[in-house]
Amino acid sequence: MTLQANSSAADSWPRILIAMAEHLELPRPWRLMLTAGWNLAESLGIPVAGYFAGAALGGRDAGMIAATAVVWLTVFARKGLTRSVPGLLTISALVLTLQTAVVLLTGSVLFFLLQFPLANLGLCVLFARTAPTRKPLVAQLAAEVVALRQPSSHHPGLHRFFQGATWLWAGIFAVSTIGLAAAMALEPAKVFMLLVTVVTFGGLIAGTGASALWFFRVLRRHGLRVRFAVG
């Protein structure tokens, strides 16, 4: 009986260790808010502040130049200090550069409006390019923006989710591009700018909600769980 009990206990240990390893980890709530807030501030807050400062001094074009300049300064500072540049910051720098180039090279209202569908097209290409790779962009953003830590061993189910979610976001930006291009051709400028706001926030809310629901379904299907880091 003792040998059988010992054997059963020995067999159960690998399963226990595997179960302990099969989880995802988030930082504690206050650190999670700090990490996400810092990423959003440097990729969105700093460029917006740069735009308003530049626009107050020299108008729209100066604002676009200032926003692009400060976001690239942030990129170089990140690279020099940490040897890495977060994906969200890279996206912000590339999109702002594209928008600023369109605004400065054309100078017309029509091409100023064109920056919005072009920005969505650029995001579509960026997400689609990484979706079939070993490092889909959604996985990278999850690791950087909310500091999500995956199981130490490669998990095919999670990897497929991150690839699928990256394709989802590529599709959202593709639909946004088509919708904004059509609106630019059919609607006056004021209505178009309102639609830009609606489409942008609507796409973000829909994509985030769909990704979150999909993520939790994947966790349940594979017996994974998310827990807060200790310490």
| pLDDT tens digits along 129-158 | 999 998 898 988 888 877 787 766 667 888
Instruction: Give yes or no for residue 181 having a pLDDT over 60.
Output: yes
Q: Are residues 165 and 92 in the same domain?
A: no
Q: Are residues 195 and 205 in the same domain?
A: yes
Q: What's the rounded Cα separation, in Å, for the pair 107 and 181?
A: 19
- Note whether residue 219 is domain-resident: yes
Q: Are residues 116 and 103 in the same domain?
A: no
- The pLDDT of 150-170, averaged and rounded, is 85
- The pLDDT of 48-77, averaged and rounded, is 89
Q: Are residues 128 and 55 in the same domain?
A: no
- Note whether residue 124 is domain-resident: yes
* pLDDT in the model for residue 66: 92
Please tell me whether the overall predicted TM-score, pTM, comes out greater than 0.75 for this model.
no
* pLDDT in the model for residue 231: 56
- The pLDDT of 198-220, averaged and rounded, is 88
Burial per residue of 89-115, b for 16 or more beta-carbon CB atoms within 10 angstroms, e otherwise? bbbbbbbbbbbbebbeeeeeeeebbbb
Is the C-alpha dihedral spanning 150, 157, 154, 75 positive or negative?
negative
Degrees (nearest 5) of the Cα angle 122, 137, 97?
A: 35
Q: Are residues 113 and 77 in the same domain?
A: no
Q: Are residues 103 and 114 in the same domain?
A: no
Mean pLDDT estimate for the chain: 80
- The pLDDT of 158-165, averaged and rounded, is 91
On whether the CB atoms of residues 117 and 107 are closer than 8 A, the answer is no
Per-residue pLDDT tens for 79-128? Answer: 888 888 888 888 888 888 888 888 787 766 666 777 788 888 888 998 99
* pLDDT in the model for residue 228: 73
* pLDDT in the model for residue 196: 85
Instruction: Give yes or no for residue 167 having a pLDDT over 80.
Output: yes
- Note whether residue 144 is domain-resident: yes
- Note whether residue 4 is domain-resident: no
Q: Are residues 75 and 134 in the same domain?
A: no
Q: Are residues 32 and 127 in the same domain?
A: no
Cα dihedral 118→201→161→171 (10° resolution): -40
- Note whether residue 168 is domain-resident: yes
Per-residue pLDDT tens for 38-59? Answer: 777 887 788 888 888 998 888 8
Decide which of 83, 107, 131 is a domain's last residue.
107
Q: Are residues 68 and 126 in the same domain?
A: no
Residue 146 has what DSSP assignment?
A: S
Decide which of 64, 90, 107 is a domain's last residue.
107
pLDDT band at 226 (very low <50, low <70, confident <90, very high): confident
Q: Are residues 41 and 102 in the same domain?
A: yes
Q: Are residues 89 and 140 in the same domain?
A: no
- The pLDDT of 73-80, averaged and rounded, is 89
Q: What's the rounded Cα separation, in Å, for the pair 109 and 103?
A: 9
* pLDDT in the model for residue 24: 73
Instruction: Give yes or no for residue 8 having a pLDDT over 60.
Output: no
- CA 179 to centroid of chain Cα atoms: 21
- Note whether residue 136 is domain-resident: yes
Number of domains in the chain: 2
* pLDDT in the model for residue 18: 42
- Percent pLDDT > 90 in the chain is 18
- Note whether residue 1 is domain-resident: no
Decide which of 107, 134, 164 is a domain's last residue.
107
* pLDDT in the model for residue 35: 74
Range of the domain at 131: 109-231
CA distances from 111 to 149, 179, 190 (A): 42, 16, 15
Q: Are residues 44 and 116 in the same domain?
A: no
Q: Which amino acid is at 94?
A: L
Residue for token pair 């504690």:
28
Which residues lie across from 225 on neighbouring strands? 23
